Structure 1
Amino acid sequence: MDATPRPDDAATAGVGGPEGAGRFADFGRPRRVDGGIRARSTRGAIGVSWWSRRFLEVLESFALGTRLTRGRSYARRGQVLRLDVTPGRVTATVQGSRAEPYQVGIALAPFPAALWELLERDLAGQAFFSARLLAGDLPAELEQVFADAGAPLFPGGVGELTQRCSCPDFAVPCKHLAATFYLLAEAFDADPFQLLHWRGRSRADLLDRLRTLRAGASEVDGAVAPSGADGPVLTATPGGPLRDDGAPAAGAARVLAGLPAAPLDDAVDRFWLPPVPLPDRPPTLATGPELLLRQLGAPAPAIGGPGLLERLRRGYRTFGRS
Structure 2
Amino acid sequence: MRQKRRSRPLREPYQSEHDGYYDGFGRPREASGGIKARVQRGAATSNWWSKRWLQALNRLIDPGRLQRGRSYARKGQVLTLDEAEGGLVTASVQGSQPRPYKVTIRLRPLTDEQWQRVINALASQAAFAAHLLAGTMPEDIEQAFAAAGVSLFPDRDADLETDCSCPDFANPCKHIAAVYYLLADRFDEDPFMIFRLRGRTQDEVLAELRRLRTPEGSAPPDHEAETPEAPLPLDSDPSRFWALGLPLDSIALQLTPPVVELPLLKRLGDPPFVVHASLQEILAPAYRAISEAALAAAFAEPDIAIAASDAAPAESAGDREPGA
TM-score when normalising by structure 2: 0.59
Give the Å deviation of 1:273: 8.5
Sort the Cα spacing of 1:72 and 1:146 in 2 relative to 1 into closer, same or farther, 3 A. Answer: same
Q: Aligned partners of 1:121, 1:25: CA distance in 2, in Å?
A: 49
Deviation per CA, 1:207-248: give whole Å up to 9, x if none.
23323333xx1xx3xxxxxxxxxxxxxxxxxxxxxx4xx849
Deviation per CA, 1:228-269: give whole Å up to 9, x if none.
xxxxxxxxxxxxxxx4xx8499xxxxxxxxxxxxxxxxxxxx
Q: How does 1:214-225 map to 2 (within 5 A)?
A: 214=213, 217=214, 220=215
Give the total of aligned pairs.
221
Residue of structure 2 equivalent to 1:176: 175
Sort the Cα spacing of 1:272 and 1:137 in 2 relative to 1 into closer, same or farther, 3 A. Answer: closer
Establish whether residue 124 from structure 1 lines up as the match of residue 116 from structure 2: no
Whether the 8 Å CA contact 1:81–1:93 is kept in 2: the answer is yes
Q: Aligned partners of 2:168, 2:29: CA distance in 1, in Å?
A: 17
Which residue of the other structure, out of 273, 277, 286, is the alignment partner of 1:287? 273
Give the Å deviation of 1:43: 0.5
Sort the Cα spacing of 1:128 and 1:31 in 2 relative to 1 into closer, same or farther, 3 A. Answer: same
Residue of structure 2 equivalent to 1:43: 41
| Matched AA of 1:60 | N
Larger Rg: 2
Deviation per CA, 1:255-303: give whole Å up to 9, x if none.
xxxxxxxxxxxxxxxx5589xxx9xxx96544379xxxxxxxxxxxxxx
Residue of structure 2 equivalent to 1:208: 207
Deviation per CA, 1:12-39: give whole Å up to 9, x if none.
98xxxxxx99944722221222221110
TM-score when normalising by structure 1: 0.60
Establish whether residue 69 from structure 1 lines up as the match of residue 55 from structure 2: no
Sort the Cα spacing of 1:285 and 1:162 in 2 relative to 1 into closer, same or farther, 3 A. Answer: same
Q: Aligned partners of 1:87, 1:25: CA distance in 2, in Å?
A: 34
Sort the Cα spacing of 1:288 and 1:97 in 2 relative to 1 into closer, same or farther, 3 A. Answer: farther
Q: How does 1:1-322 map to 2 (within 5 A)?
A: 23-24=21-22, 26-61=24-59, 62-65=61-64, 67-85=65-83, 86-158=85-157, 160-214=159-213, 217=214, 220=215, 243=216, 247=218, 272=260, 284-287=270-273
SS state at 1:31 partner: coil
**Greater relative CO, 1 or 2 (CA 8 Å, sep 6+):** 2
Give the Å deviation of 1:121: 2.8
Whether the 8 Å CA contact 2:73–2:181 is kept in 1: the answer is yes
Greater share of helix: 2
Whether the 8 Å CA contact 2:211–2:218 is kept in 1: the answer is no
Unaligned runs of 5+ in 1: 1-11, 14-19, 221-242, 250-270, 290-322
Q: Aligned partners of 1:74, 1:21: CA distance in 2, in Å?
A: 17
| Matched AA of 2:37 | A
- RMSD over aligned CA atoms reads 3.5
SS state at 1:32 partner: coil
Whether the 8 Å CA contact 1:89–1:107 is kept in 2: the answer is yes
Identity value in percent: 48
Give the Å deviation of 1:204: 2.2
